[in-house]
Amino acid sequence: MMEIGFKLPNRANRAQLLLTIGTGIFAAGALGFIAGYLSQGQTSILGALSLILTGVGSSMKRVKYSGAPDPTK
pLDDT, residue 16, reads: 86
Number of H helices and number of E strands within the chain?
2, 0
Q: Tens place of pLDDT for every residue, the chain, 73 residues?
A: 445 555 556 777 888 888 999 999 999 999 999 999 999 899 999 999 999 999 988 887 665 455 555 566 5
End-to-end CA distance of the chain: 20
pTM for the full predicted model? 0.68
* Residue 48 confidence (pLDDT): 94
- CA distance linking residue 4 with residue 27, whole number of Å: 32
Please report the pLDDT score of residue 30 as a whole number. Answer: 92
pLDDT at residue 1, as a whole number:
46
